[in-house]
Amino acid sequence: MTIGSAATSSPVPADPVVASATRASDPGSPPEPLRWLADTGAEWTTDQQILGRSRLDRSGWEPDGRPAAVVFPRTVTQVQAVLRGASATRTPLVPRGAGTALTGASTAGAGTVVIDLSRMNRIVEIRAADGIAIAEPGVVTADLDRAAAEHGLSYAPDPASVEISTIGGNIATNAGGLRCAKYGVTRDSVLGLDVVLADGTLINTGRATLKSVTGYDLTGLFVGSEGTLGVVVGATLRLRTLPTPTATIAAAYPDIATAAAASVALTGAHVQPVLAELLDEATLSALADHGLRQSGGALLIVQLDGGPVETSRALEVLRRGATSVRSDGDPAELLAARRQALPAIERLGRPLIEDIAVPRSRLAAAVRSIADIAQRHDVPICTLAHAGDGNLHPIIVAGSHGSPIPSAAHRAADDIFALALSLGGTVTGEHGVGVLKRAWLARELGEEQHHLQRRIKAVFDPLGILNPGKAI
Amino acid sequence: MTIGSAATSSPVPADPVVASATRASDPGSPPEPLRWLADTGAEWTTDQQILGRSRLDRSGWEPDGRPAAVVFPRTVTQVQAVLRGASATRTPLVPRGAGTALTGASTAGAGTVVIDLSRMNRIVEIRAADGIAIAEPGVVTADLDRAAAEHGLSYAPDPASVEISTIGGNIATNAGGLRCAKYGVTRDSVLGLDVVLADGTLINTGRATLKSVTGYDLTGLFVGSEGTLGVVVGATLRLRTLPTPTATIAAAYPDIATAAAASVALTGAHVQPVLAELLDEATLSALADHGLRQSGGALLIVQLDGGPVETSRALEVLRRGATSVRSDGDPAELLAARRQALPAIERLGRPLIEDIAVPRSRLAAAVRSIADIAQRHDVPICTLAHAGDGNLHPIIVAGSHGSPIPSAAHRAADDIFALALSLGGTVTGEHGVGVLKRAWLARELGEEQHHLQRRIKAVFDPLGILNPGKAI
């Protein structure tokens, strides 16, 4: 076990990620092939327990072996030194935030070094009058939103993982969430980025203005690139004045197809929900002990901020075919129950969380076909959907935790991806490609575009050291 | 004079752009170096009057010479053939929509061929339930918004040129407009693009879903790239349910700095205007005969759609320091007057329309400094601003129409760009770089990022035939 910062010899603080490691008064030297780590000024470790944790994310994907080391930079200069050292030694680097990726994007196998950015976690500045925040990548997303709230502002993207995932990870996957139906995904809130390139060069893309069109939009290119083009070390983020929600409606339906059709009908009625969350019968059953007791085959939770006219239009639409429609529930309780859905499903077994998006009008067709897929492969699938933007999360319950994933589950997942493409959709709405969907990337993009994307990758990362084997 | 389509021999319709040309029953052959045009299936012309018009845009920039020909494809296949022919012969191509660029991006000098996309002007489909439209690049932006309105939807981007500029041109410059303060710029409404690459390959970026993160965001990379990466031949656009405006407020102030400060104070009061347009004294004076008679040194027009609470908050803020605040005017009349500002200023002389953006809190500082610049160089400058997003249009009245631009006007423009950067802003908020701001591009991006951008350009356009000398 070696933990150290050869440059500073500073003791490692009691950070959760190294909680199991003892503090090293004498950090020692890294093993020979990693000698360059000692010159980065950053803390690093080869502790086997930490390596074991840092090789995994929340996807269930198991890489071959363990990373050789984890390095914990605290400054941009240290990140630059890590990238220079990795380039000089051709060492594959895996950038990591909170490790909440659902696709294997944060997994790290043999021969890699993990660059863990969770200690770069300062909210540098909130400029309320400008409507912007400047944050380091390790800031937990919900913390930023809470800091913005002190100024009457919001950070709009709110993935279900908002309390545990980081801004850097959200940028890597272009995370969405619940209220992005109205207020946009992560890309819509990122104005500029500080990025360290593979050779250690620091660039600042975008700017602190709400508009700009000077040069190509590299900011947008980095968002969603899953750590394969550079390491994000700072972000200039848009904060918004979000209206206070005026209504939160829970509408129950006999089946999920009717519920899906109701959510689609909202658009035609000139209603723009802040969020529209759809839960199927299997999910409701899993949630029964978590504050959301709901009879019926499907539940649609709709939140609005548009005033009484929009609310009455929405109620009229939602009542069609519903078994019950309530707008007097506690909004916080309803949404908390929705956020409990994944933990509740996890109690049923090992979840494979899929993430397809289809044109909104195909939502009902998609949920019907997913039910067919579950039946065909005889695997339980709980379906949640951000119905407002046609983004479905079919969650395959793939046997018990720790046991091998049954092949039927993999076949069901493949059928779900094929379904998304056949409906004119995408194999990932907000989780990214990672390892798990690489085979589907080329099918969705087409050979010509895939080739172009690989050439862009080569411009940024000619040595192929940035998160190799992921995404592209 | 030659107009023709050698492949089809079809007569040229009475399109405005070729109105001065006679219909050619025998189109003949293109001159030798352009023999390839005959194989594209597209109509083309070497009529000197049309070439003379197609060499210019609305920037005032005069390229050396005239283009050799203008080609008018009507289909994707014809665009592909044009690109293949241009690649094979190393012919520089200038993509052109309505020619409303304000930066020289659409100007075409000697040795170029203009690819005029104004005849690819079909709204292919509006899928109301999906909230998307599919349009060809030559569709006039306001026409798309009107078509969406028939379904109760809106196309949000509304540049001042909305009645004359095209979707393709808006995509090329990432056009903004008035209501983008709340509903986003063009990039926020583009979900996917059909693009013909330099070698004639057709790719389809993005998709018809509201979310996706499969691969790098090439859609966002093409938006704002000013025709230097590929030729956009189709767009999948997001349509939104926009609330009906609930208040339109005209607030007059003794001076523009006080007005700018009032607009900035809205954010702190939890107000998110749909639009906040700022007009200085010189602009108001130019507008006096156009339905906007207004005493005082500055006018702020604010439109809201958030309901009575937001309106009363806004009124309270806007009354501070105001000489008058009215919310009973005709909204359509107020906004029409705002859109008349540029034509009104054009009556004073030749306008150089600048386009900087600054962090919103620096708006007052920016307008004060622009007044100093006008005085220092002794040139009239009318300042308009999309105050909601810190985007200023200082319009330099540069002598009379047709006369050479005085050097003082160029010096004033340079000072305005330097001002934008010194305030942490950008040299272009929504018009693009074109020819006029190329020298400033590298200063804003920095050498490292500029180098990276040129390498991306080389991936897409290795022969350098796409709008050379523009933007990057």
On whether residue A277 sits in a domain, the answer given is yes
Reduced 3-state DSSP string for chain B: CCEECCCCCCCCCCCHHHCCCCCCCCCCCCCHHHHHHHHCCCEEECCHHHHHHHCCCCCCCCCCCCCCEEEECCCHHHHHHHHHHHHHHCCCEEEECCCCCCCCCCCCCCCCEEEECCCCCCEEEEECCCCEEEECCCCEHHHHHHHHHCCCCECCCECCCCCCCEHHHHHHHCCCECCHHHHCCHHHHEEEEEEECCCCCEEEEECCCCCCCCCCCHHHHHCCCCCCCCEEEEEEEECECCCCCCEEEEEEECCHHHHHHHHHHHHHCCCCCCEEEEEEHHHHHHHCCCCCCCCCCEEEEEEECCCHHHHHHHHHHHHCCCCEEECCCCHHHHHHHHHCHHHHHHCCCCEEECCEECCHHHHHHHHHHHHHHHHHHCCCEEEEEEHHHCEEEEEEECCCCCCCCCHHHHHHHHHHHHHHHHCCCECCCCCCCCCCCHHHHHHHHCHHHHHHHHHHHHHHCCCCCECCCCCC
Q: Which of B47, B41, B40, B7 is nearest to B23 (CA)?
A: B47
Q: What percent of chain B has pLDDT over 70?
A: 93
Domain boundary (B178, B209, B238) is at B238
Which positions in chain B touch A197 (Cβ < 8 Å)? Answer: 448, 452
Which of A129, A216, A446 is facing B268, going by the closest CB pair?
A: A129
The CATH number of residue B94's host domain is 3.30.43.10
Range of the domain at A62: 3-116
Tell me the H-state helices in A90-164. 141-149
On whether residue B152 sits in a domain, the answer given is yes
Contact B209 A358 (CB under 8 A): yes
CA distance A390 to A424: 11
Query: What does the angle CA A447 – CA A448 – CA A451 come to, to the nearest 5 degrees?
Result: 85
Instruction: Give every CB contact of residue A5 below 8 A, 6+ residues apart in sequence.
Output: A12, A27, A41, A42, A43, A44
Which positions in chain B touch A190 (Cβ < 8 Å)? Answer: none
Contact A453 B216 (CB under 8 A): yes
Segment B194-219 mean pLDDT: 95
A313 and A270 belong to one structural domain: yes
CB of A110 within 8 Å of a chain B CB? The answer is: no
pLDDT tier for residue A295 given thresholds of 50, 70 and 90: low
For residue A284, the one-letter residue type is L
Q: Is the pLDDT confidence value at A292 over 70?
A: no
Q: Is the pLDDT confidence value at A456 over 70?
A: yes
The pLDDT score that the predictor gives to residue B290 is 65
Domain boundary (A81, A116, A151) is at A116
A36 and A86 belong to one structural domain: yes
Instruction: Give every CB contact of residue A185 below 8 A, 6+ residues apart in sequence.
Output: A157, A174, A175, A176, A177, A430, B211
Residue-wise pLDDT for A73-92, tens only, equals: 999 999 999 999 999 999 99
CA distance A284 to B224: 45
> Nearest CA to CA, how far is B121 from chain A (Å)?
24
The pLDDT score that the predictor gives to residue B333 is 87
B223 and B258 belong to one structural domain: no
Q: Which one-letter DSSP state was computed for residue A273?
A: -
The pLDDT score that the predictor gives to residue B9 is 33
The pLDDT score that the predictor gives to residue A23 is 32
Q: Is the pLDDT confidence value at B25 over 70?
A: no
Residue-wise pLDDT for A22-46, tens only, equals: 333 345 678 888 999 999 999 999 9
On whether residue A195 sits in a domain, the answer given is yes
Copy the structure tokens of residue B122: 């079909």
Whether the CB-CB separation of B138 and B120 falls below 8 Å is answered with: yes
On whether residue A441 sits in a domain, the answer given is no
CB of A455 within 8 Å of a chain B CB? The answer is: yes
The CATH number of residue A399's host domain is 3.40.462.40
Contact A213 B390 (CB under 8 A): no
The CATH number of residue A194's host domain is 3.30.465.10
CA nearest to A432 within chain B = B213
Q: Which of residues 42-71 of A touch B (CB under 8 A)?
A: none
Which positions in chain B touch A445 (Cβ < 8 Å)? Answer: 214-215
CA nearest to B202 within chain A = A448
Q: Which of A449, A286, A396 is nearest to B193 (CA)?
A: A449
A46 vs B342, higher pLDDT: A46
Whether the CB-CB separation of B385 and B357 falls below 8 Å is answered with: no
Q: Which helix (H) or strand (E) holds A359?
A: none
Copy the structure tokens of residue A7: 């440059």
Contact B360 A471 (CB under 8 A): no
CA distance B24 to B33: 21
The pLDDT score that the predictor gives to residue A29 is 79
Whether the CB-CB separation of B448 and A218 falls below 8 Å is answered with: no
Which positions in chain B touch A153 (Cβ < 8 Å)? Answer: 267
Domain boundary (B238, B257, B277) is at B238
Copy the structure tokens of residue B302: 């604010």
Contact B217 A229 (CB under 8 A): no
Q: Is A402 helix (H, G, I), strand (E, B) or coil?
A: coil
Q: Is A79 helix (H, G, I), strand (E, B) or coil?
A: helix
> Nearest CA to CA, how far is A14 from chain B (Å)?
36
Q: Is the pLDDT confidence value at B131 over 80?
A: yes
pLDDT tier for residue A401 given thresholds of 50, 70 and 90: confident
A375 and A296 belong to one structural domain: yes
A259 and A144 belong to one structural domain: no
Q: Is the pLDDT confidence value at A150 over 70?
A: yes
CA distance A54 to A52: 6
Highest mean pLDDT among A28-37, A147-156, B335-344: A147-156
Strands B43-45, A113-116: pairing kind: unpaired
CA distance A418 to B321: 61
B458 and B432 belong to one structural domain: yes
Q: What percent of chain B has pLDDT over 90?
A: 79
> Considering its fold, how many domains does chain A have in total?
3
A316-342 as b/e: b if 16+ CB within 10 A: ebbeeebeebebeeeeeebbebbbbbb
Burial class (CB in 10 A: 0-12, 13-18, 19+), B328: exposed
Strands A113-116, A93-96: pairing kind: parallel
On whether residue A447 sits in a domain, the answer given is no
A231 and A182 belong to one structural domain: yes
Residue-wise pLDDT for A311-342, tens only, equals: 999 999 999 999 999 999 889 888 888 888 98
Contact A243 B306 (CB under 8 A): yes
Query: What does the angle CA B365 – CA B369 – CA B370 come to, to the nearest 5 degrees?
Result: 120
Q: Which of residues 6-45 of B touch A (CB under 8 A)?
A: none
Cα–Cα separations (whole angstroms), residue B455 to A39, A120, A237, A392, B440: 31, 30, 27, 37, 19
On whether residue B269 sits in a domain, the answer given is yes
B132 and B233 belong to one structural domain: yes
The pLDDT score that the predictor gives to residue A149 is 95
Residue-wise pLDDT for B26-74, tens only, equals: 456 788 889 999 999 999 999 999 999 999 999 989 999 999 999 999 9
Which of B153, B221, B270 is facing A241, going by the closest CB pair?
A: B270
Contact B268 A152 (CB under 8 A): yes
A283 and A178 belong to one structural domain: no
CA distance B360 to B200: 42
Q: Which of residues 149-168 of A touch B (CB under 8 A)?
A: 151-153
> Nearest CA to CA, how far is A31 from chain B (Å)?
34
> Nearest CA to CA, how far is A470 from chain B (Å)?
10
CA B23 to chain centre: 32
Copy the structure tokens of residue B407: 């050097």
Copy the structure tokens of residue A347: 């109690």
Q: Which of residues 215-274 of A touch B (CB under 8 A)?
A: 215-218, 220-221, 223-225, 229, 240-243, 264, 267-268, 270-272
> Nearest CA to CA, how far is B432 from chain A (Å)?
5
Contact A217 B221 (CB under 8 A): yes
Copy the structure tokens of residue B417: 């760009």
Whether the CB-CB separation of B427 and A214 falls below 8 Å is answered with: yes
A258 vs B293, higher pLDDT: A258
On whether residue A309 sits in a domain, the answer given is yes
Least confident of A232-241, B341-350, B378-387: B341-350
Q: Is the pLDDT confidence value at B22 over 50?
A: no
Residue-wise pLDDT for B165-203, tens only, equals: 999 999 999 999 888 889 999 999 999 999 999 999 999
The phi and psi torsions of A123 (rounded to 5 degrees) equal -85, 105
Copy the structure tokens of residue B61: 């920039």
Which positions in chain B touch A209 (Cβ < 8 Å)? Answer: 357-359, 389-391, 424-426, 429
Q: Which one-letter DSSP state was computed for residue A5?
A: -
CA distance B371 to A33: 61
Contact A216 B221 (CB under 8 A): yes
On whether residue B472 sits in a domain, the answer given is no
Instruction: Indicate the average pLDDT of chain A.
Output: 91
Q: Which of residues 348-387 of A touch B (CB under 8 A)?
A: 357-361, 386
The pLDDT score that the predictor gives to residue A5 is 41
Strand residues in A363-444 grouped as ranges (E): 381-386, 391-397
Which positions in chain B touch A126 (Cβ < 8 Å)? Answer: none
pLDDT tier for residue B293 given thresholds of 50, 70 and 90: low
Contact A267 B310 (CB under 8 A): no
B330 and B408 belong to one structural domain: no
Which positions in chain B touch A240 (Cβ < 8 Å)? Answer: 272
Residue-wise pLDDT for A182-223, tens only, equals: 999 999 999 999 999 999 999 999 988 888 999 999 999 999
Q: Is the pLDDT confidence value at A9 over 50?
A: no
CB of A201 within 8 Å of a chain B CB? The answer is: yes
A213 and A326 belong to one structural domain: no
Contact B449 A131 (CB under 8 A): no
CA distance B266 to B269: 5
Which positions in chain B touch A214 (Cβ < 8 Å)? Answer: 426-428, 433, 437, 440-441, 444-445
CA nearest to A471 within chain B = B215
A303 and A412 belong to one structural domain: yes
Query: What does the angle CA B463 – CA B465 – CA B471 come to, to the nearest 5 degrees?
Result: 110
The pLDDT score that the predictor gives to residue B349 is 94
Contact B217 A220 (CB under 8 A): yes
Look at the block and give the residue holding tokens 């010899």.
A9
The CATH number of residue B430's host domain is 3.30.70.2740
Copy the structure tokens of residue A119: 């200690």
> Nearest CA to CA, how far is A281 from chain B (Å)?
25
Q: Which of residues 272-331 of A touch B (CB under 8 A)?
A: 272, 306-307, 310
